[in-house]
Structure 1
Amino acid sequence: MDKILIIISLITTFSFSQSQLSIENHLRTRQVHLDFHTSEHIPNIGEKFDKKNFQRALIMGRVNHINIFSKGHHGYSYYPTKIGTQHPNLKFDLLGKQLEACKEINVKCPLYFAVGWSVLDAEQNPDWVMKDENGKMLTANLDLNAKPNDIRPHYSWKCLDPTPGGGYHNYILKNVEEICKRYDDLDGFWFDIYHIKPYSFTSYSKRRMVEEGVNFNNTDEMEKSFALALKDHMRELRELVEKYHPNATVFFNSATHIANKSIFKEALYEMNTHAELEDLPTTWGGYDKLPLEAKFHLGKGTPIVAMSGKFHKAWGEFGGFKHPDAIKYEAAAMISFGASCNFGDQLHPSGEMDFETYTNIGKAYEYVEKIEKYGPGGTPYSNLGVWLSLDHSADQGLVNMLLQLHKDFIVANENNLDKLDIILIPSKNNISQNQLKILQDWLDNGGKLIVFGNGMLDSSNKKFLIDLGCEYISDSPYDFDFTTISETIGYDIVKTPFVNYDSAIRVKLTDGKPLGMIREPYFNRTYEKYSSHRETPYKLEDSSFPSAVKKNNTIFFTHSLDKLYYDHGMRIHRQLLENAIEELKINQYVNVINFPSSGRISLLNQEKNNRFILHLLYSPPILRADKVQVIEDFVSLSETFVEFRIPKKVKKIYRVPDYKEIDFKYKNGIIKIKIPNFKMHTAIVLEY
């Protein structure tokens, strides 16, 4: 039986990978995601839909791909259906009309299908709603005891369980098969809402866990069981779509986000034909969320689409407008990090397209048309790797430092160490025994390592997995501490003790060299003992515990500098990282000189085209309101230089989008050029 399962798995994997190879060839670059979540209490649905106006809007927006809706969050379908329920106030096949309109002007149009949030299905089938251990319905931001006229929170619903073994899974399959049979040559499906809850106690999920022998007192086991069941659900959907439309794209939203959750750890993203990376940087995710996720999925060989919205504050808001300059910057950033572009919109219930929206998107996509050949199809290229810990504050804090230092990176794993000269290990351990052996071999053969905090401690947090020149003693008894730094890594850092808002672990030197020491406070701040406004002052002598240790090709920081930077953003901590990289004498492929810290760089290799592309972006996000960032000012930059140490013979260098050629010479294996004046974005192409 096991052999049969293995063969089936191999066949499935092969067919998926074969179809994925063709995706990159027709994954369009200028996309829109068109929401249409429409209440049954609104009349005359779609009555103002006009094919010519719909096409006009897409042409104005320079859109070549739009995700349109088959079934929305309210649970209604927008086409005649015998399986589901057509919206009661829709009198015609709106989906069919949109498909016809798109095909006439050669616009790709995958179909949106709501899964985890479907109000009608939840109301009519309460047994499909996720339950907790006590049988209570699981909800998102919803009060089950609210009165009819109480204000309903935004984004609130009963969470549905689509795992196999339950009626909802079968219902979804029947819906999707009906759509596949009804319409010819579908471009794809876009399935939404898979991130809701980590596990479920519906009757069928509970039955599955019992059959699998899951320990109900072990959260990890329950989460893994649910994630793998979701993966089976996705696999069946993917196979169903491929049966009728073998060239169609298939995407399951939420499976691509990097997180310490089973939905990511069990690689549910493998069920996608491509990865779509959702973000609304003005209010959630931020402008530095995309680079890490883009580099991860591109590193897997997966084509990517970056998704934002035309909205100012929230997904789906009516009347919310992001300025065209902000859309243009986001679109340029998407291309820069190797992604196709997608901006969300929501169609008015009347079916009438908003031309202002597509005018704004069109201004951005006019620029994208000029640069789109120089992003998608490229892979991140760097000799510096970041090992994922799956602790968000650790990973993102480290990434934030690297982005601001213009130290380009790729995501390191056991399969790409031969491409790397240095790896940075965040402050939470996420290294298996097999990975550890490969990592140790790489280190023994000249690899260089920077480690933070607990990143190299074993599962008991008592012993280092790699010899860092010190031994673990204990955690600190203090809530905070201070650091004094040696001259070795002390460039541009104060010589007096500086505060760390969380304390370091205590280690004892063996044969490592201390690069800094811990200065401890007199005592923790308590009601019994305190001094001044905040942290207690430091003692006048260093402790015996180092803050940084160097041994051979490794530097170890006893603080979680990554988390400290994520939470507090103190420049000294970022400078420590930069100095450590310099101390290990790493020559990165790109060194950018005189470029603001809020500028961003991305080096891509388009091997098929024999060229590298260095993208430079500059328009710093501004905090305009509580938790609202905007892009507003495009400032001209004129004195930026770049040094390239590319391991290829460069034949020609020019700038995009104006194709102005740049003169260059090699000196000691280095190409140094001055970047011509630019605003917001430019790309430097190096043909080899």
Structure 2
Amino acid sequence: MVKKWLCAVLVSWWCLCLWAAGAEHAGEKPLNWHENAFFGLHFDLHPNAGDTELGRETTAEHIREMLEKVKPDFVQYDCKGHPGYTGYPTKVGAPSPGIINDALKIWREVTREMGIPLSIHYSGVWDSRVLEEHPEWARMDPHGNRHPNYVSLLSPYPTERMIPQLLEVVREYDIDGMWIDGDCWAALPDWSPACQAEFTRRTGIAEIPKKAGDPHWEEWLAFHRTLFKEYVARYVAAVKAEKPSCLVTSNWSFTVRMPEAMDVPLDYISGDYDPSFGAERAMVEGRFIASRRVPWDLMTWSFLKTGDQPWTFKNAAHLSQEVSTVMAQGGAVFIYDTPQRSGRLNSWHMDVLAEVARFCRERQPWCHRTETVPQIAVLHSESTWYTRNDPLFNFGGANQPMEGALFALLESGWSVDLLNETALAERAGQYPVIVIPEVTRLPEAFRQAMAEYVEGGGRLLISGGEAAEMFGELAGITFA
């Protein structure tokens, strides 16, 4: 059975490689292998200065045995974590002093032989080691204090450390993708001299706001959101120039945290949801990401920690429940497990993941890349979101009205989708009911689209005083 599976995968992967190579040679858009990927595995170690045995027990035979158990469509393996040390012998950064064997090289050789695409886990904005070497590259708070972990996006870090490392990995290991972690959720407003000067240059505003409520605070935050997207576009372009078929995504970009139009050319959308309450988070994220109509996946952690209890490996039933909420929205799934520091995978963990993989495969024909039947749409308003959330891209409670409406409807047995303003205005006619939960700001074009929706027979449910005031005439409400 294993031989048949290996043969089939090798043939399909060989055909895919030939197609992609031909497309690149001809100047065509290369094949996005993630479009057909359904079940994957993720392994990272976040190498650090205290490691002493990285790769010591990483062997081709062991990796192959473990992968044959689970039969993933793709694998993501460790490269550089939040501490900033690499798990491979980089020549342009800070390799962990504990590297015994080049585990990434062995993973590349095995996955190539087995016909499995290999991506890397790489921490972007969060790089503690580079800030030990270059403290002047750090993000600064309004009082001039430098952040110990998060880089400034206008520092030399992207061009002198991050992009050279990403290109090094592409050239040395011929990887098929990269999953950039510690990115949007680690991006913060930056009061470094370079950012202040660039803000003034772009906007003409000389007075730099320090906190919410100050003049031009919204412009200041919008400027930083733009800087982040420019930074992502820069490393995507660099990787694509080196290897067009290498897929790139930024963890949690253009999910609920970033509800605006997807204006950076990521190959797919991805995120790793909460380890302890993953099913609930996936119910929200999966519905919104699915509305993007691009390839996507979500990662569940194979372990959890609640309160002061130790980390515990989840059983197959728990993991199957979590990934089901993703599969039901048409998405791909992958599971995060941590190898031993020596690189050895826990065999019994792979047995559990193999059971989950079988559960998913049985449902794949009826789930993957499917779409929901439109019943109720809930608005996730980007215009309101960025007036409430924790800058730049974190929740800060701003998700509560939208998620409250979503869960109330789900618990009543309805099929519910989450859409941003642009998508909902375009697809409003598909939904018998639209819910607008407690928004405080909406573009006039969207309000007009909702008026036309109601005039055409649609049902619009509005909650919240400010939202009702926006649609007062449409709802027949007169305010004193």
With the shorter chain as reference, the TM-score category is 0.7 to 0.9
Q: Does 1:212 align with 2:223?
A: no
Looking at secondary structure, tell me which structure has more helix per residue.
2
Shift of 1:234: 0.8
Shift of 1:49: 1.1
In 1, Cα distance between the equivalents of 2:32 and 2:368? 14
What is the aligned residue count? 423
Q: Does 1:471 align with 2:478?
A: yes
Per the normalisation by structure 2, the TM-score is 0.82
Q: Does 1:166 align with 2:155?
A: yes
Shift of 1:20: 9.0
In 2, Cα distance between the equivalents of 1:43 and 1:131? 33
Q: Tell me what 1:605 maps to.
A: none
Shift of 1:47: 0.9
| Structure 1 pair 75–210 and aligned structure 2 pair: CA distance change class (3 A) | same
Shift of 1:418: 2.0
In 1, Cα distance between the equivalents of 2:339 and 2:428? 47
Q: Which amino acid aligns with 1:176?
A: L
Question: In structure 1, the residue corresponding to 2:434 is in which secondary structure?
Answer: strand
Q: Tell me what 1:178 maps to.
A: 168
Q: Which amino acid aligns with 2:192?
A: T
Q: Does 1:251 align with 2:249?
A: yes
Q: Does 1:277 align with 2:266?
A: no
Question: In structure 2, the residue corresponding to 1:191 is in which secondary structure?
Answer: strand
Aligned-pair Cα RMSD in Å: 2.4
CA contact (8 A) 2:299 2:334 kept: yes
Shift of 1:457: 4.5
Shift of 1:126: 0.7
Q: Tell me what 2:222 maps to.
A: 224
CA contact (8 A) 1:381 1:410 kept: no
Larger Rg: 1
CA contact (8 A) 1:35 1:68 kept: yes
Question: In structure 2, the residue corresponding to 1:450 is in which secondary structure?
Answer: strand
| Structure 1 pair 208–416 and aligned structure 2 pair: CA distance change class (3 A) | same
Q: Tell me what 1:555 maps to.
A: none
- What is the correspondence of 1:423-442 to structure 2 with a 5 Å cutoff? 423-442=434-453
CA contact (8 A) 2:39 2:334 kept: yes
Question: In structure 2, the residue corresponding to 1:113 is in which secondary structure?
Answer: strand
In 1, Cα distance between the equivalents of 2:321 and 2:409? 20
In 2, Cα distance between the equivalents of 1:97 and 1:320? 29
Question: In structure 2, the residue corresponding to 1:291 is in which secondary structure?
Answer: helix
Q: Which amino acid aligns with 2:463?
A: F
What are the superposed Cα offsets for residues 325-382 of structure 1, whole Å, 9 maximum, x if unpaired?
1112223332122111111111221111111111111111111111112212112221
In 2, Cα distance between the equivalents of 1:206 and 1:431? 29
Q: Which amino acid aligns with 1:336?
A: A
Shift of 1:24: 4.8
In 2, Cα distance between the equivalents of 1:455 and 1:308? 37
CA contact (8 A) 1:426 1:453 kept: yes
CA contact (8 A) 2:233 2:265 kept: yes
Q: Does 1:392 align with 2:384?
A: no
Which segments of 5 or more consecutive residues in structure 1 lack a partner in the other structure? 1-14, 140-157, 474-688
Question: In structure 2, the residue corresponding to 1:40 is in which secondary structure?
Answer: coil
CA contact (8 A) 2:53 2:99 kept: yes
- What is the correspondence of 1:189-588 to structure 2 with a 5 Å cutoff? 189-194=178-183, 195-213=185-203, 214=205, 215-217=207-209, 218-259=216-257, 264-267=258-261, 270-280=264-274, 282-283=276-277, 286-313=278-305, 320-389=312-381, 390=385, 391-412=398-419, 413-454=424-465, 456-457=467-468, 464-473=471-480
Q: Tell me what 2:81 maps to.
A: 72
Q: Which has the higher contact order (CA 8 A, sep 6+)?
A: 2
| Structure 1 pair 235–125 and aligned structure 2 pair: CA distance change class (3 A) | same
Q: Which amino acid aligns with 1:311?
A: F
In 1, Cα distance between the equivalents of 2:224 and 2:450? 31
- What is the correspondence of 1:618-637 to structure 2 with a 5 Å cutoff? none
Question: In structure 2, the residue corresponding to 1:363 is in which secondary structure?
Answer: helix
| Structure 1 pair 398–455 and aligned structure 2 pair: CA distance change class (3 A) | farther
Q: Which amino acid aligns with 1:72?
A: G
Shift of 1:318: 9.0
CA contact (8 A) 1:310 1:322 kept: yes
Per the normalisation by structure 1, the TM-score is 0.58
CA contact (8 A) 2:275 2:300 kept: yes
Q: Which amino acid aligns with 2:199?
A: M
CA contact (8 A) 1:388 1:411 kept: yes
CA contact (8 A) 1:23 1:274 kept: no
Looking at secondary structure, tell me which structure has more strand per residue.
1
| Structure 1 pair 265–421 and aligned structure 2 pair: CA distance change class (3 A) | closer
Question: In structure 2, the residue corresponding to 1:414 is in which secondary structure?
Answer: helix
Shift of 1:232: 0.9
Q: 2:126 aligns with which of 94, 117, 121?
A: 117
Question: In structure 2, the residue corresponding to 1:367 is in which secondary structure?
Answer: helix
| Structure 1 pair 24–189 and aligned structure 2 pair: CA distance change class (3 A) | closer
In 1, Cα distance between the equivalents of 2:30 and 2:454? 34
- What is the correspondence of 1:18-97 to structure 2 with a 5 Å cutoff? 22-26=32-36, 28-97=37-106
Shift of 1:289: 2.4
Q: Does 1:187 align with 2:183?
A: no
Question: In structure 2, the residue corresponding to 1:472 is in which secondary structure?
Answer: coil
In 1, Cα distance between the equivalents of 2:329 and 2:265? 23
CA contact (8 A) 1:29 1:340 kept: yes
